[in-house]
């Protein structure tokens, strides 16, 4: 910070010197010259005063919340991947958290895990207690607490998380809460003032301001979110907080920063609120986001490729391969096709296609405008479903049945279900708490709860909510099946 200040001061000094030099450039300036310069001085001023954010913040502040989480993380002393762990194992040194090591009361990491705490931000989107935040704020949390500006605290239930867009939906047991107003990110302009409210480093309701630096930013490995780039100061703890326009409407969720130091460096990114609200609606209805799947691998076009395919402009998504048995294969899409539009929505860039398709539910019939053999044509396709849907049944505090179970699972893929000759089920990816005590293991396939078949994540969540504190799970392990009794309390 100290090295930046002299640079700013030097720039201001240089500007002042330049102005003095210009005023004294021609001491013999004639009246005729002055007449020529007059119209420039008479031009209407376009400079405006800086906005006053005080009124805006007083209106929107009560709807912004602080989120604190408790997580279980691997203990460095009990992690076999840690080099120090291997060093001690080789020399036979007994260490807490290692197999055969001493069990010392009060030492974290016994059994290879320890407690970690984190902080983030969020905002209330409905008066009955629904709160939006980032998925990475509450991911793998065993307890989530929401604190309002009036100091009230609530244990929150994690209704669902969507890692692809980094959006999570929480629910607290409260009524008549202050809420934010939802804006239109498409109506925002580059250079427009925006305000962030959040809890950087745990400092509640901290306000920072800046401008929109760019729109529709594509980040590496991010295909579902056209980020809003700003220069608003965002730091750890701001994640999940709202980005407001000057009308006091939320236009984005602060999510990421670009940094070489780990701290704010003038570039931050927000998830457009329209993207987040579509995710919120699905999480509220199903607990997961159901996305359509076309089944193609695509790439962008440059000018040379566009010319070789007979296209005037390098727009669209070039199909490089088609997955056998997919919706694309059934619609007879071919490698070399260029997808130019979906249901009338233009595919200006290859990155637009995953977002457009992902916003549509499985089973939707779509009209694809494609370019093939230097001609435009339309074909229809019926979307399949994503196999990457996940149940994160850890997060959510004591009121969340999934959280009490301690299970992370995904649905069986179509091929896996056919191989096992079952209509559906959930593959266990991680296990802890009551589920681990019941004997459930990673790789087990949960087929039924109290003899009711489990087909998908949403159905399993509903069965858990109705099951009470004791129930039986039918699981397939290898070639055999067994019932396991689960006791939550």
Please list the active-site residues: 136, 166, 239
Task: Specify which residues 211 forms β-bridges with.
Answer: 193
CB 196 within 8 A of CB 254: yes
- Pairwise CA distance, residues 397 & 68, whole Å: 11
Which value, to the nearest 10 degrees, does the dihedral of the CA atoms of residues 179, 245, 284, 432 take? -100
Whether 204 and 238 have beta carbons less than 8 Å apart is answered as: no
Tokens at 125, concatenated: 């989107």
**Hunting for tokens 């249901």 — which residue is that?**
343
**Are the CB atoms for 114 and 71 separated by under 8 Å?**
no
Q: What are phi and psi of 150, to 5 degrees?
A: -85, 15
Q: Cα–Cα distances in Å, from 411 out to 272, 386, 398, 407?
A: 29, 10, 25, 13
C-alpha to C-alpha distance for 260 and 278, rounded to whole angstroms? 32
Instruction: Classify 98 as helix, strand or coil.
Output: coil
Backbone angles phi, psi at 291, to 5 degrees: -110, 145
Using DSSP, how many helices (H) and how many strands (E) does the chain show?
13, 29
Phi, psi of 449, deg, nearest 5: -120, 120
DSSP 102-145: ---TT-TTGGGEEEEEEEEEEEEEETTTEEEE-HHHHTTEEEEE
342, 327 Cβ separation under 8 angstroms = no
| Rounded Cα gap, residues 68 and 120, in angstroms | 6
The C-alpha atoms of residue 200 and residue 239 are separated, in whole angstroms, by: 8
Site of tokens 């070039």: 318
d(CA 274, CA 279): 9
Sheet containing strand 113-126, strands side by side: 153-155, 141-147, 64-74, 113-126, 130-133, 167-171, 157-162
Tokens coding 78 = 């009990």
């Amino acid at each position: 910070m100290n090295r930046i200040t002299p640079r700013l001061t030097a720039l201001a000094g240089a500007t002042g010197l330049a102005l003095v030099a210009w005023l004294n450039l021609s001491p013999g300036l004639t009246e005729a010259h002055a007449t020529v310069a007059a119209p420039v001085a008479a031009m209407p001023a376009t400079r405006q005063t800086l906005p006053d954010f005080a009124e805006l913040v007083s209106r929107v502040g009560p709807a912004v919340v602080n989120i604190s989480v408790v997580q279980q993380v691997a203990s460095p002393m009990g992690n076999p991947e840690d080099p120090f762990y291997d060093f001690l194992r080789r020399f036979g040194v007994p260490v807490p958290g290692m197999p055969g090591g001493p069990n010392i009361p009060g030492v974290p990491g016994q059994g290879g895990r320890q407690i970690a705490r984190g902080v983030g931000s969020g905002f209330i989107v409905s008066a009955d207690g629904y709160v939006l935040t980032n998925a990475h704020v509450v991911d793998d949390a065993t307890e989530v607490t929401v604190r309002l500006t009036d100091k009230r605290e609530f244990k929150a239930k994690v209704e669902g998380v969507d890692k692809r867009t980094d959006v999570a939906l929480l629910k607290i047991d409260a009524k008549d809460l202050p809420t934010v107003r939802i804006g239109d990110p498409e109506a925002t302009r580059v250079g427009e003032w925006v305000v962030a409210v959040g809890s950087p480093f745990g400092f509640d309701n901290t306000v920072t301001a800046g401008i929109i630096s760019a729109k529709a930013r594509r980040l590496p490995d991010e295909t579902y979110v056209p980020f809003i780039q700003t220069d608003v100061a965002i730091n750890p703890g701001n994640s999940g907080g709202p980005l407001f326009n000057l009308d006091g409407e939320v236009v984005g969720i602060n999510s990421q920063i670009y940094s070489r130091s780990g701290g704010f460096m003038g570039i931050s990114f927000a998830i457009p609120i329209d993207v987040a609200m579509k995710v919120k609606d699905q999480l509220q209805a199903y607990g997961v986001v159901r996305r359509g799947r076309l089944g193609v691998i695509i790439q962008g076009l440059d000018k040379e490729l566009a010319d070789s395919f007979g296209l005037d402009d390098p727009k669209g998504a070039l199909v490089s391969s088609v997955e056998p048995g997919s919706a694309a294969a059934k619609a007879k899409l071919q490698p070399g096709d260029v997808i130019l539009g979906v249901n009338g929505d233009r595919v200006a860039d290859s990155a637009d296609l995953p977002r457009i398709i992902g916003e549509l539910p499985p089973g939707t019939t779509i009209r694809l405008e494609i370019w093939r053999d230097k001609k435009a044509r339309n074909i229809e396709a019926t979307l399949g479903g994503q196999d990457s849907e996940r149940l994160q049944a850890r997060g959510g505090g004591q009121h969340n049945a999934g959280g009490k179970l301690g299970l992370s699972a995904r649905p069986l893929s179509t091929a896996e279900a056919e191989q096992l000759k079952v209509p559906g089920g959930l593959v266990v990816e991680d296990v802890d708490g009551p589920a681990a005590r019941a004997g459930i293991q990673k790789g087990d396939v949960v087929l039924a709860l109290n003899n009711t078949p489990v087909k998908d994540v949403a159905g399993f969540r509903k069965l858990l909510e109705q099951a009470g504190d004791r129930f039986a799970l039918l699981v397939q392990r290898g070639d055999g099946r067994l019932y396991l009794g689960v006791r939550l309390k």
